[in-house]
Amino acid sequence: METPKTLQRRDKLHNTLTIVISILALTLSSITFIKNEYRYSSLAETIGILDKKSQDYAVCLESLKLKSYHHALKTKRQATQGDIDFPTDEEMRQNIDKEIKRQVHIFMNNLHKIYSVQNEKLVIVGAKGEPGPPGQKGSKGERGPRGKKGVKGPPSEKGQKGEAGVSVAAPSITIPPKAKTVHLGKTVTFSCTAEGLPTPIVTWYRMSGALPSGNHEIYSNGSLVIRSVRKGDEGIYTCLANNILGEAKEFVSFNIILPVEFVQRPKNRVVKEGSIAEIYCKAQGFPQPVISWYKGNQTDRGEKLDTNSDRITFVKAVSQDSGIYTCIAKNIVNQVQAKAEFLVVENIRFTLLPPARTKAHVSQTVSIDCQGHSGKMVAKISWTRNDGRLINKHQVLPNGTLVLNVSSKTDAGEYICIASNPLASINSTLVLDVYVRSCSEWKMTGATRNGDYFINTDVPGGVEGLKVYCDMEYRKGAGVTVIGHDSEMRTLVEGFPYPGSYVRNINYTSASEQQINSIIKASANCEQFIKYECLNSVLLWHGLSYGWWVSRDGQKMDYWGGSSPGTWKCACGITDTCQGGFGCNCDANDGKWREDSGLLNDRSTLPVSQLRFGDTGNPREEKGFHTLGKLKCYGIA
């Protein structure tokens, strides 16, 4: 129950609130009155209404105070009869104050400070009446500005921990496989444990190829077993674990202990001086073999070289590098060795060079020397032509000499001598000039037509050319060179009684003496027809020469055509058919016309350079005619 002192304080508070509210109402009305003084004429009536409202409000506050007081007493009585705790006087006071403030707020809202001008009158809005019927919906207004963000509320309390659920995970290898090294024929096992959800599937594969065929097995726990290990099973193996979320892998090396064997044995080498070269050997096995080198000979391995490389390199090889090199490869299982010969040879060079240029005539056989040297290694000599044509018809002797069998003008050209060994080669070029000396040589080249041909003759100081007539049918088509002169016509001899008093010099107009001599020299056969028709004019009468011919070198010839030197006869004397049994028909001197004729064929004396006759002093009873044919040469000397 409230004390009298408490009730007194409440009354004093209510009175104060009444006065304040009245003052506020009056102030508001005064302000409104001042603003609208010229419009409202019944301000007194309005102030009266406001005063009436203030009084009503005071009565309301009093009534409110009493209601609050009675409510508090009723609450206290109910509390003494029940089990609930009765509030203290202070708590009761606070509750009453709160209720008063609430009722005042409601009243003030009903009183409302809204006043507006309607029909030029001051209207004080009273308490809100019952809602009227809804009006027609108006048009949508413009959207207002966005409001400010509100103050963040206090955090909520942490909820209770939920029950544990089922989780999924990508594979992971928890126990990876370990590297293994085993001997051939053994069994090896690689373990591989993986985790994940769903449970991963473990498989194996080899990086260098398929898993060993026929001797491996993969178990459900992920282990790989290889039985009876064979050569070639070694390598890098991969354990792979995968499920729908991914995969994991681990690599492991597998080695097999293997004996050493050569993959590449050292090879014999022959190199030239100053060249860059190497000897190489390669071995395989496990553990990896160690390479060492020795230099010696066929019977002694020699000294060990300061290198463990699989090769020996010679930057500039010299003859002292020659020798037998031994490669030794070994590991913990075994060792192997192999030998190779390394030979450094001198640079090849010519010891006998062919001439830069030479000449040869058709039918000539020419020998061209060419030799080379390359130290311990024999230099091989070979020949070729620069135009690529073969030289099969020619011959190369074992010492490198080229034997040229010249048979055509096409044999002319460049011939190359090549000196070589397995390492290098050098060459030297010979230019061969081919010329034709006679018609027989032209025939040899394939010419068949009669006519003028150009030939070259060997004369001191060089080769001179001339045009000659070639008879390609005479002497069975041997190819006859024909040289004419100025005394080929039948010529009368008379008025010369003494032996050889008639003199007829023979001039060969188409060739010089040197050229004729060269043609004769180039020919196997030469001939010249000679004839003397006589009337009581003897030739070789009883060993006394009245008529004769002179050789090319000026010698008096004491035989006639058809006979041979030193016989003192004519052709009929050789066959014993001369008139009167003499050595010549003209020597019969029987007052009849006789004739001695035949071919002169001694190449060493031809051609005829002069004719001499006599015994023609009495023109009525003694006379003669001489005829000398062309010089004809054929065949190849």
* Residue 254's pLDDT band (cuts 50, 70, 90): very high
When pLDDT is averaged across residues 494-512 and rounded to a whole number, the result is 94
* CATH no. for 348-435: 2.60.40.10
Could you give the count of Cα atoms lying within 13 Å of 393 in the half-sphere of its Cβ? 11
pLDDT at 271: 87
pLDDT at 394: 86
The string of DSSP codes covering 557-621 is: E-S-TTS-TTS---HHHHHT--GGGSSSSGGG-SSSEEEEEEEE--TTTPSP-EEEE-----TTT
* Residue 599's pLDDT band (cuts 50, 70, 90): very high
Report the phi/psi class of residue 554: left, alpha or beta, with left for phi > 0 and alpha for psi in -120 to 50.
left
pLDDT at 124: 47
Within 10 Å of residue 348's Cβ, how many Cβ atoms? 20
- pLDDT tens for each residue of 458-490: 655 555 688 999 999 999 999 999 999 999 999
- pLDDT tens for each residue of 83-110: 445 456 676 667 666 766 676 566 555 5
pLDDT at 506: 96
- pLDDT tens for each residue of 119-172: 444 444 455 567 777 777 777 777 778 877 778 778 767 767 766 655 789 999
Place of tokens 């070789």: 540
Decide which of 79 and 498 is more confident: 498
When pLDDT is averaged across residues 195-208 and rounded to a whole number, the result is 92
Place of tokens 């052709």: 571
Q: Which of 99-113, 170-184, 598-612 has the lowest mean pLDDT?
A: 99-113
Name the DSSP letter for residue 332: S
The string of DSSP codes covering 108-145 is: HHHH-S-EEEETTEEEE--S-----------PPPPPPP
Mean pLDDT in the chain?
A: 83
- Could you give the CA distance from residue 495 to residue 548 in angstroms, rounded to a whole number? 17
Q: Are 554 and 609 spatial neighbours (Cβ–Cβ below 8 Å)?
A: yes
When pLDDT is averaged across residues 212-240 and rounded to a whole number, the result is 92
Q: Could you give the angle at which helices 89-111 and 43-81 cross, rounded to 10 degrees?
A: 150
pLDDT score of 81 more than 60: no
Name the residue ranges covered by the structural domains of the chain: 169-257, 265-345, 348-435, 466-636
pLDDT score of 203 more than 70: yes
Residue 599: closest CA among 630, 622, 637: 630
Q: Are 165 and 150 spatial neighbours (Cβ–Cβ below 8 Å)?
A: no
CA 109 to chain CA centroid, nearest Å:
103
Q: Phi, psi at residue 604, to the nearest 5°?
A: -75, -15
The secondary structure element, H or E, covering residue 278 is strand 277-280
- Could you give the CA distance from residue 120 to residue 117 in angstroms, rounded to a whole number? 6
pTM of the model: 0.51
pLDDT at 178: 94
pLDDT score of 76 more than 90: no
Residue 78: closest CA among 86, 90, 89: 86
Place of tokens 């309301």: 60
Contacts of residue 278, Cβ cutoff 8 Å, sequence gap at least 6: 311, 312, 313, 314
The secondary structure element, H or E, covering residue 439 is helix 439-445
CATH 3.40.50.1370 fits 265-345, yes or no: no
Residue 372: closest CA among 430, 423, 424, 418: 418
When pLDDT is averaged across residues 249-264 and rounded to a whole number, the result is 92
- Could you give the CA distance from residue 93 to residue 429 in angstroms, rounded to a whole number? 144
Indicate the SS3 state at residue 187: coil
pLDDT score of 37 more than 70: no
pLDDT score of 52 more than 70: no
Query: Structure tokens of 269?
Result: 């080498």
Q: Which of 28-37, 247-256, 402-411, 544-553 has the lowest mean pLDDT?
A: 28-37
466-636: CATH class: mainly beta
The string of DSSP codes covering 505-536 is: E---SSS-HHHHHHHHHH-SEEEEEEEEEEES
- Could you give the CA distance from residue 90 to residue 524 in angstroms, rounded to a whole number? 174
pLDDT score of 379 more than 50: yes
pLDDT score of 370 more than 50: yes
Any idea which architecture 169-257 has in CATH? Sandwich (2.60)
pLDDT score of 43 more than 80: no
Domains 169-257 and 348-435 fall in the same CATH topology: yes
* Residue 48's pLDDT band (cuts 50, 70, 90): low
pLDDT at 602: 95
* Residue 391's pLDDT band (cuts 50, 70, 90): confident
- Could you give the CA distance from residue 171 to residue 168 in angstroms, rounded to a whole number? 10
- Could you give the CA distance from residue 43 to residue 49 in angstroms, rounded to a whole number? 10
* Residue 267's pLDDT band (cuts 50, 70, 90): very high
pLDDT score of 56 more than 70: no
Q: Are 46 and 26 spatial neighbours (Cβ–Cβ below 8 Å)?
A: no
Burial of 465 (0-12, 13-18, 19+ CB in 10 A): exposed
- Cα angle: 71, vertex 76, 82; to 5 degrees: 125
pLDDT at 497: 95
